[in-house]
């Protein structure tokens, strides 16, 4: 299915948005588009929608399986425009949003579908899920100068931490059940990353509802959506394994010549399995076993 623009999707493509969960893949460049779409199709999403410029091509096996929307997410209001337009068009649907060269993982995703996981999450009266954006990077930048390699992907085993999130409307006291999370490449190379882009937390899974809005810092207008757990016990969390930061650091003229290797003593090959992320504490199953 192919729509010529975002307006066409929200006006004529309601059936593509009506039954969730739906994955919204925001394509910023031509890196690993097909592998990103295949990964999310394999997770069991009812629909995978790719927002991408007309000039980018899709592999023959991917084209019939996804909904394609001609849209350049790097212009105008960027990713928030896409997500907020979709929220308005499809209240009551579960959505995931992420970018190309990003791969969603949740506990036991090798044997359970995204729909099963979100049904359990909804039964716990949760309407959103915290995800950690875990930076991936190629181990050999001489061989992969753009820092992206599925076969040679690495991640940081440690170096992650959280700080209280102040509430400006309450004398900057910490917000209840909200934290700012940091780590990965944005922490190790923070001199090349603007301060407002160093967090690695994202509410990437959420239930659309009237009046809900996504903000540029990856938080929502409903503060309960931004919490990591309910008041009673810990909840499920997920992870987004992402080459996005590594790509940016090597594409940016201000940082590319300062970085010759992303690896350090706490790097490890990425195993492309949820068990590794669970063992490293980068997501947790909550009460779901």
Model pLDDT for residues 127-154, shown as the tens digit of each residue: 999 999 999 999 999 999 999 999 999 9
Query: What CA–CA distance (Å, rounded) separates 62 from 39?
Result: 11
Residue 53 has pLDDT above 80, yes or no: yes
CA distances from 289 to 82, 112, 207, 236, 272 (A): 34, 11, 23, 10, 20
- The more confidently predicted of residues 169 and 138 is 138
In the three-class reduction of DSSP (H, G, I as helix; E, B as strand; rest coil), residue 225 is classed as helix
Query: What CA–CA distance (Å, rounded) separates 205 from 201?
Result: 12
Residue 276 has pLDDT above 90, yes or no: yes
> What pLDDT is attached to residue 288?
87
Residue 169 has pLDDT above 90, yes or no: no
The CA-based diameter of the chain, rounded to the nearest angstrom, is: 55
Which residue from 20, 196, 35, 161 is spatially nearest to 97, judged by alpha carbons?
Answer: 20
Q: What is the mean pLDDT of residues 4-20?
A: 86
Main-chain phi, psi angles of 80, to 5 degrees: -65, -35
Residue 205 has pLDDT above 90, yes or no: yes
Phi-psi region of 6 (alpha: psi -120 to 50; beta: other; left: phi over 0): alpha
111 Cβ contact partners less than 8 Å away, ≥ 6 residues apart? none
Residue 20 has pLDDT above 90, yes or no: no
Where b means 16+ CB within 10 Å and e means fewer, 40-53 reads bbebbbbbbbbbbe
CA distances from 240 to 133, 164, 254, 286 (A): 5, 22, 26, 17
State pTM to two decimals.
Answer: 0.95
Residue 77 has pLDDT above 80, yes or no: no
């Amino acid at each position: 299915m192919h729509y010529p623009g975002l307006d066409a999707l929200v006006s004529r493509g309601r059936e593509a948005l009506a039954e969730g969960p739906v994955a919204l893949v925001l394509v910023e460049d031509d890196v690993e588009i097909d592998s990103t779409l295949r990964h999310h199709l394999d997770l069991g999403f009812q629909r995978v929608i790719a927002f991408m410029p007309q000039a980018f091509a899709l592999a023959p096996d991917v084209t019939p399986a996804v909904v394609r929307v001609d849209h350049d997410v790097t212009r105008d209001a960027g990713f928030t425009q896409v997500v907020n337009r979709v929220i308005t068009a499809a209240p009551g649907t579960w959505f995931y949003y992420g970018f190309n060269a990003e791969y969603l993982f949740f506990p036991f995703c090798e044997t359970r579908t995204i729909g099963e996981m979100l049904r359990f999450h909804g039964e716990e009266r949760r309407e959103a899920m915290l995800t950690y954006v875990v930076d991936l990077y190629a181990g050999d930048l001489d061989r992969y100068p753009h820092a992206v390699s599925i076969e040679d992907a690495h991640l940081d085993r440690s170096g992650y931490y959280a700080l209280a999130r102040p509430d400006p409307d309450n004398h900057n006291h910490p917000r209840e059940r909200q934290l700012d999370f940091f780590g990965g490449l944005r922490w190790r190379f923070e001199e090349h990353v603007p301060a407002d882009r160093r967090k690695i937390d994202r509410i990437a899974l959420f239930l659309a509802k009237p009046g809900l809005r996504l903000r540029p810092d990856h938080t929502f207008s409903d503060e309960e959506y931004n919490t990591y757990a309910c008041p009673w016990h810990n909840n499920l969390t997920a992870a987004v394994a992402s080459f996005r930061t590594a790509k940016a650091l090597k594409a940016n003229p201000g940082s590319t010549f300062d970085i010759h290797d992303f690896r350090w003593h706490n790097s490890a090959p990425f195993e492309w399995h949820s068990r590794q992320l669970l063992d490293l504490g980068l997501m947790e199953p909550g009460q779901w076993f």
